[in-house]
Chains A and B, each alone.
Chain A
């Protein structure tokens, strides 16, 4: 169905179900319990999960299939955000023009940067993309401030023209039907679950983008991209020019990034220059590798992991720890708190660093590979079927 085989269909449905039920799945702990700290089901973080999921899915189309490691994808995320906020500033708070423009602008940027960078391969390609992105970031932060509002980030002022604005518009919305921030909170006993309009919009788009990426992976075009990765020279000898294919992949993944940027700005109308910094480009690389480069679902899992640590672990402070371990005898409590303290709050980077090392040492191929191994062990080695082999291509070199 939908041009997918059974295995892919199952995966798409799982992703769709997870995305739709996320408000429940991410808030497993009662609101007032000590474990509520680990709940991630609030609108902002759920939005980030799916938006960075889109970003990583797009990145994986380039990296996972062709093996070209771009270190400058954040530039497309950034221009996407800037385009959307500019649409808010010039037209009104309807998110549709902004999102469309963000994809187009990111696509154009990708054509230019891709055309130039793809003249080289391997590490030389990575450094070219990095150079373009860093140039964009440095200029956006300083010289281009009239366009980007520099350090502060581009935001909407009441003095902006906003030619189409109506009186009731104060925040981003979809054709006036629904505001992105509107949230319905369902109280269910001790639990509470947030259903946010913006989240569902992003989630639906994420599922669509996921579907699109499955189709690309399974298409002749995707086949061609894999050929680029496995042996470009041989491909050239057979009379095929690889460049149009890789450029197309580059532009598609740039547009994914632009869409993610546009959505970020639609959920929260501010575009900061840091979105284009090399650390942001590095982040999506890490997300993809952490989850499993070349797998369909890996990048989404990786994005979720990193965002979870960034937003949840950084908020656990000493007080919270003392609450958790309050049941222990005093001396032991302090000892435990002292140890754990290094990994949470201001130490959340350490947790992330250790996690990166653990995953790559013990789960080569990323989290998805790890998950598959565990499944295989549980099922007793039998389900080594073909479908899994096709999903799990070897990570790029």
Chain B
């Protein structure tokens, strides 16, 4: 058959050389002069903003991106400086980070752990990003956090609410500013007991994946501590779009509160369906039937429209807060984009500033130095009052907001109102709390 001029021997030789070529890189791996992954070479420093730009969370991702761009402007001394003026640490000077102009690259997580990791990897490998920030789901956050740990860059987690992110999946290179499921439960339970009484019977509908489970466990523990009883917990498939068959049996179960442990599109649909069934108009056990949505976001509230009215939930931050930091941020965000920022936007903005500030205080971009500067860092002036980045698990501790769907919204952004600002002391927990057990922070990894 063979008609070609290539000989078998020739090919063997070539492949031997090719084989040697494959083995070669090990020799060179450690030879690079850099002390850590993507050490800036003087022409500026690159941050990677990895947010969902397609799929159901695209809108949330867009808002994060807006906030991140704003943060970069402020770091480079453009615009009005936003929260840099109210931040208790004054290390940032508006001349970039450590004198390096801040540049950024963006990517699309698609809210899939695979795609998110691919996108983060391209930022690290191709664009030389030294910090990754953003995202809007816990699965993605945990996946990207693991990647950043391996690659030796800092990960600022964006929106992630599962206990696992700073629990069993915590990593030394990752930090979370967002609150978590435990905190939601701890903040909500007293308010719920106050508003609806202590002898309530709760029925949980829970999204059937890790975030949903930790959210449900936290809510159940916190409400039962207040004297509530849990009638049932039903797991719903992630792919569900119509929740009618899960909601229909609720009214006959003897429960008088429905807790929807859903987020995103699931939450919009399950809440809409529950309201359609007219649950809130019913009296059960002699009490008005109520619905609770433990984790709120402005965008989801907007998606559910008038269905959120009177429904209680929790949030990390809200633009209606009246502290100086919040006001400064809302002003500069609002003037640039003509809309108030969402709580995920706030998280990403603040994390970008905090990262930059930590670099300034550490005097280096080395992830180990930055992590050390962030660990145990106490600050104020970024909304939510005095805040701590705990060294033990890299979880942030600050006040948590309990929100309620507004009865008569005056405009499209005015869907939720603040019911209570739960003080930080009430949502704190020990680092070895059983809901967070199992993981190890490990050692910080500078990469090279």
Contacts and interface: CB of A to CB of B under 8 A. Distances in A.
> Do they bind each other?
yes
Interface of A: 1-6, 9-10, 13, 20, 39, 42-45, 48, 138, 141-143, 145, 149-153, 155, 157-159, 170-171, 177-179, 181-185, 194-197, 200-201, 204, 268, 270, 272, 274-275, 310-311, 314-315, 317, 319, 345-346, 348-349
B25 interface: yes
B113 A270 contact: yes
28 contacts: A1-B2, A1-B4, A9-B2, A10-B4, A138-B239, A142-B208, A142-B235, A143-B208, A145-B209, A149-B210, A151-B139, A153-B113, A177-B26, A178-B26, A181-B150, A182-B29, A195-B25, A197-B26, A201-B22, A204-B18, A204-B22, A270-B143, A272-B112, A274-B115, A310-B115, A314-B107, A346-B108, A349-B54
Contacts of B113: 151-153, 270, 272, 274
Contacts of A42: 122, 125-126
A317 B103 CA distance: 12
Given A48-B118, A184-B29, A311-B122, 10 more contacts: A45-B118, A145-B209, A151-B139, A152-B164, A152-B210, A157-B440, A178-B23, A196-B25, A270-B117, A275-B114
A201 B23 CA distance: 10
Contacts of B239: 138
A270 B171 CA distance: 15
Interface residues of B, number: 63
Interface of B: 1-4, 6, 8, 11, 18, 21-26, 28-29, 32, 53-54, 58, 61-62, 65, 69, 104-108, 112-115, 117-119, 121-123, 125-126, 137-139, 142-143, 146-147, 150, 164, 169, 208-211, 235, 237-239, 438-440, 442
Contacts of A275: 114
Given A268-B121, A311-B119, A153 B1 contact: no
A274 B112 contact: yes
Nearest to A44: B121
Nearest to B49: A317
A94 to B, nearest CB: 15
B76 to A, nearest CB: 12
Contacts of A151: 113, 137-139, 209-211
Contact of A9 (B4, B108, B112, B164): B4
A145 B115 CA distance: 20
Contacts of A315: 105-108, 119, 122-123
A275 B112 CA distance: 9
A3 B32 CA distance: 44
Given A158-B442, A272-B112, A179 B122 contact: no
A314 B411 CA distance: 33
B210 A158 contact: no
User: Can you list the 5 inter-chain pairs with the closest CB atoms, starting with the nearest?
Assistant: A346-B53, A151-B139, A1-B2, A42-B126, A44-B121
A200 B21 contact: yes
A143 B212 CA distance: 13
B107 to A, nearest CB: 5
B143 A9 contact: no
A286 to B, nearest CB: 16
B143 A44 contact: no
Residue of A183, A268, A274, A346 with most chain B CB atoms under a 10 A cut-off: A346
Nearest to A268: B117
A348 B54 contact: yes
A182 B29 CA distance: 6
Contact of A346 (B22, B54, B115, B139): B54
B25 A158 contact: no
Nearest to A39: B126
Nearest to A155: B146
Contacts of B121: 43-44, 268
Contact of B3 (A5, A181, A310): A5
A345 B123 CA distance: 14
A138 B207 CA distance: 12
Contacts of B18: 20, 204
- Most B C-beta atoms less than 10 A away, residue of A2, A42, A151, A171: A151
A270 B146 contact: yes
Contacts of B119: 311, 314-315
A274 B69 CA distance: 30
B177 to A, nearest CB: 20
B39 to A, nearest CB: 13
A20 B18 CA distance: 9
A377 to B, nearest CB: 27
A311 B118 contact: yes
A138 B237 contact: yes
A348 B22 contact: no
Contact of A179 (B21, B26, B147): B26
A247 B125 CA distance: 41
A311 to B, nearest CB: 6
A42 B118 CA distance: 11
Contacts of B112: 272, 274
B26 A159 contact: no
B238 A142 contact: yes
A174 to B, nearest CB: 9
Contacts of B61: 346
A324 to B, nearest CB: 15
B402 to A, nearest CB: 26
A353 B8 CA distance: 45
A141 B209 contact: yes
A317 B106 contact: yes
A194 B125 contact: yes
Contacts of B105: 315, 317
A195 B238 CA distance: 40
A124 to B, nearest CB: 23
B125 A43 contact: yes
A64 B442 CA distance: 49
Contacts of B106: 315, 317, 345
B135 to A, nearest CB: 12
